[in-house]
Structure 1
Amino acid sequence: MSKSLPTEIITHEIFSKLPVKSLLRFKCVSKSYNALISSPEFVELHLRESRSSDANRVLIVAGKGRRNLYSIDVDSPDDSVTTIPIQRTQDESTPDKVSIVGSVDGLICVVRATDTWSIPKYKYIIVNPCTRVFREILYTSTHNFFLLDKMVSSFGFGFDDLNNDYKLVTVMDVEHFYQPERDTYRETYREVMVYSLNQNTWKLVERVKDRIDSLMVSQNGALLKNNLLHWLFSDLNDCRIGCFDIRSDKWARDVPLTMNLYEHDEIRVRRLGVINGCLCLSTATNSSGVVWMMKDYETKESWVKLFHITPFLGPPPFVKFTEPFFCFRRASKYEVLVADLDMQRLFWFDIGATTYGRAKSVKRIPAFVGGCLFTESLVQIPGGRHIG
């Protein structure tokens, strides 16, 4: 490869630390470079380096009413924005809702939900934005849903390191109403489906009738440690954090909540997220919002108040409430990247500043409906093809 440097040094000391964009260019330099960078051993080495150094961090957001994704270099001082095309589907005329499920190891999972009269359809797209390779996954429910039925669905995406497999998880709460000769009665149940990327199959792993709580709306699974997906569930009096382990395809024990989250009757639990590898939870009242962090996973006493937002204070841009929340800026331990979903805008929020000048809007990005933080990688997608 090189007459001046040993292959070991080129591989471990230079190439493993480079961004993916540079490595893709180097693949064109020579056959030997192409073989090295394309090898599974180097892909894993580069991924381990990126994980350990927390390098090459990018935020991916889905633009509202748009067919493209957008990436933001969160460690760039000017918040540079890049457009990422997504492969057009064969039924582009069908109206659907697009959202980002999540990200792991540089792969993004996007779901398109199409409403029909009888059977809800979901089309997943798993894509590596760096290599521009994608794979479509179709899931159609086996149940017939009628006009009086109610359904809440949520999705998760993670990595099963025991089986070297990327998996999708769908959690569905259903209320089914029967009307035989108008003698109406009601059935409730929860289904959990898991898709294996390696096996290209869906599997029903749980169907529970007469569930005692409900999946909270408008939140996908919060991923921790690459294999633990977390959802919020609520009943009339309380809420809980359920944890699903995609290694075993089973629910693990609930993550404990601390009682000081409930300061008064007006408080509402809103959304789960992950910041700096820690599980976070947002709560809100009619006048303000708080983000909590669990510094020591599964330790009830480790919940701390991370930051607090009071809306409409200080000069523009005003921040009504922040959900979700993504990461701290690398150059600052006080600036956290957050989203105001009501305004569909991104902000750098300074949790150490006074009331004035706390929020700085991220420019040049369209109104969006969700996003996720991911680390660039060369990870390949089994059965994938290039975006055309």
Structure 2
Amino acid sequence: MANIPTEVVESCILPRLPVKTLIRFKCVSNSWKTLISSSEFCRLHYRHANRLLVTSVDGDTLLEVHNLDSPLDPPFLCPYPDLEQLSRFREVTTILASCEFFVLVGYLAPHRVERLFLVNPSTLSYQGIIVQRGFNRGYVKYGLYFDEANDDCKVVRISDFDLRNDQYSWKIEIYSSKINKWRLIEDKLIVSSPFDRMEYFNSVACLNNLVYLITDPYVEQRIHCFDIQAERWRNDIVYPHEILYLEICVLNGSLCVLGIDTSNDEDLCTETYSVWVFNESDSFKETWVKLMSIVAKNCGVVSEYHPIAYRKGSQHELLCQRHYGGWELFCYDLKHKVATKPEEFNVVARHNSHYHLCKESLITFHGRLFGA
């Protein structure tokens, strides 16, 4: 180690180490503490950070975190923030959204969100988010986005409220973790179809400063797109007419739409689930490419399939999750079109625990989780 140049250690070796190791290395010397705590080193660490799988366990009182890039490492558990205090109100905890490095945790009382927290599973730290008065009117969906240029995690809150003549208005609010404030975006989209209401939404996806939402899946098959930086609506995207919409997500930096393939509905005992990836070429021609299709038995049990990420070092082995009496992980080989159980992940099916993807990060909030 003494013969290795300092520049190599600081720029090539340290950024590839796990967050827990780097936190311990802050005690080595003042110079290492300053280096590891700097925003420049954090950005360098982003490029090599391990991916994490986060879910809820033990009656939604604990976060369970798995290292996706080192699956043989045992998972670690941490409680939700302020759980003891909020449990007196008998609220339900849930993961509302995730982004590159964080998960958004919500405490839900009947018909409203009581508390919001940004949680970094790597540093076991969190930041509480103010829930404003009148915050719980109408239907609500959340998205999460990390602004790397400004080291700012932003929560996107989209809600609707009644106007008149069966019309509804969408309200978009953005929370900045850097200034700890919400800001109302005045731009509103007026819609007339009842299927455009938030209650008909299954998901919101955030990608590259854009927020994607799907409405009216039975009629127009369109994806709304809101630009966070420009604070305006972009042109809608039409998704493949072959599928009945279920959900949208982000896979390997691309927008995906998941749904039941209606082109193969002859067999009433089975359903075909397909995943399509959106591609926008240099000529701005929008195209969809089918990534995978899975045939599932229709036994009266609601089943869903969602891709999570490619396995480390592979571009044809896709880690997915499915809900068939409980969420569980499986690996799908895109070449051989075979689904297998990933034995390296010691997880069991959980009824309400969706798996969320994020990455390790050295960003630390002021709140500390128990055991941190």
- Which digits, 9 at most, give the CA deviation of each residue in 1:2-48, with x for residues without a partner? 8544432221021112121221221222333222212222222222x
Pair 1:374 & 2:355 matched: no
Which runs of 5 or more residues in structure 1 are unaligned? 146-150, 178-184, 314-318
SS at match of 2:59: coil
CA contact (8 A) 1:282 1:292 kept: yes
Q: Does 1:158 align with 2:145?
A: yes
Q: Tell me, what secondary structure is at the counterpart of 1:166? A: strand
Residue 230 (structure 1) aligned with residue 212 (structure 2): yes
Match of residue 182 from structure 1? none
- Percent identical across equivalent pairs? 29
Q: Hey, what's the Cα distance between the residues in 1 that align with 2:119 and 2:281?
A: 30
Matched, 1:294 2:293: no
Structure 2 residue corresponding to 1:276, chosen from 240, 252, 268: 252
1:346 is matched with: 329
Structure 2 counterpart of 1:202, from 177, 182, 185: 182
Does the CA contact (< 8 Å) of 2:167 and 2:191 recur in 1?
no
The question of 1:83 aligning with 2:71 is answered no
Shift of 1:153: 1.3
Q: Distance in 2 between matches of 1:372 and 1:297?
A: 29
- Pairwise CA distance, 1:156: 0.7
Secondary structure at the residue paired with 2:130? Answer: strand
Q: Which amino acid aligns with 1:171?
A: I
- Residues 216 and 292 (structure 1), Cα distance of their counterparts in 2 relative to 1, 3 Å cut: farther
Maintained 8 Å contact 1:193/1:202 = yes
Q: Is the 2:60–2:92 contact (alpha carbons within 8 Å) kept by the matching residues of 1?
A: no
Partner of 2:267: none
- 1:235 & 1:275 partners in 2: Cα distance? 21
Give, as a single letter, the amino acid of the residue that structure 1 aligns with 2:69.
D
How many residues align? The count is: 351
Contact 2:257 2:276 in 1 (8 A): yes
Letter in 1 for 2:106: V
Query: Which runs of 5 or more structure 2 residues have no equivalent in the other structure?
Result: 263-269
- Normalised to the residue count of structure 2, the TM-score between the two structures is 0.82
The answer for the alignment partner of 1:168 in structure 2 is 155
After superposition, the Cα gap between the structure-2 partners of 1:250 and 1:99, relative to the gap in structure 1 and judged at 3 Å, is farther
Residues 29-40 of structure 1 aligned to structure 2 (within 5 Å) = 29-40=28-39
Match of residue 121, structure 1, among 101, 108, 113: 113
Q: 1:221 aligns with which of 204, 212, 216?
A: 204
> Which residue in the other structure is 1:107 paired with?
102
Q: Letter of the aligned partner of 1:329 in structure 2? A: R
